[in-house]
Structure 1
Amino acid sequence: MSKKEQILAATLELIGDHGFHGCPMSMVAKNSKVAAGTIYHHFENKDDLILELYYYVNQKLVDVAEKGDDPDKEFKSRFMDFWHNLKSFYLKERSIHGFIEQFMNSPYNSEEVQMGENKWHEWLNDFFTEGIECGVLRSGVKPAILAILVHGSVVSSVKVSLNHGKKVHRDQLDLGEIAEIVWDGIRHQG
């Protein structure tokens, strides 16, 4: 792992524990086991570090999506693999799930960030565009809308699993049904 990756990984964990404001650069240096000067070699300031972390996390999401995708399968199977793999990833990598939630509700999530190059958004757009173009997903719906709907269902399912999983007996709640219901809502009805 490079020094830069050490810094990003430590920052991700610290933000998960302390939030954006409770994560000073001195704490990042200590937890990443690098000198403060090394951090400033890679990042101009804390804002730059958090934005870079956002792109780092997005690349991890792309890696998970690409690794779990088999273009030779029918699109419904690919969709189900995507949905369940993403949910499993978020449950395993809780710091990433928490970071994205915090980032999306923070001033860092500016229009400039959302309109800039984002490999995760590009992957989602390409995936849902393919589904529309092959006639499996609803036509006339923008791929970005499908991505928001589907990703939102995954995130909601993860939140329920993390926050309510112990309160609800497993036999009473099958969150895997959410993927099927979302699929029924986005598939071509013709």
Structure 2
Amino acid sequence: MATYLHFAPAIALAVAAGTHRTGWRLTLAGAFFAVLPDADFALVTMGLDRYSGPFGHRGFTHSIAFALALGAFGGLWAGPGWRRRLGAASFLALCTLSHPLLDGLFDRGICNAWLWPFDHARLCLDWRPVPMIGVPLFGVERFQRELLWIGVPLVLLTNAALLLRAGWSSVRSLAINGRNPCATHG
């Protein structure tokens, strides 16, 4: 799907997790990984598979296995320490998986090969709320709908995560400083 905001879930996830945890390099890699599944258009353009084939659009690059493999590969470059590598791999896999998830929410287009290589069937999500039937593949109308249906929910979810994190940090800070945040004053 020609989506302008495929990179946005990576940015939102990095902000929600805390930029001190992800850093700009991992965030940039996550944004790249979130867009990468649409590289399958090259295989169709080169004639290596048909549009709806296993290596065509929304085929193997839109699968859970591809997201996990890409995340694991990216995690190898995260630096020393298994926790750092596991965190980076998880982040990158989630960023990659955000792509077919967004594609699956649109009410137009073919479905994703979620279970490739175990099953080549294209599966649609039962809930496809984003109305794109009749909307041009590129242009202002598509961008406006993406902002409404993808951008606004991501901003709201990211802000909710930031508020939860800030609330937890202040509770933890009070506990560390010897104050009980749950104690009643009287």
Judge same fold: TM > 0.5, yes or no.
no
TM-score (norm 2): 0.32
Structure that is richer in helix per residue: 1
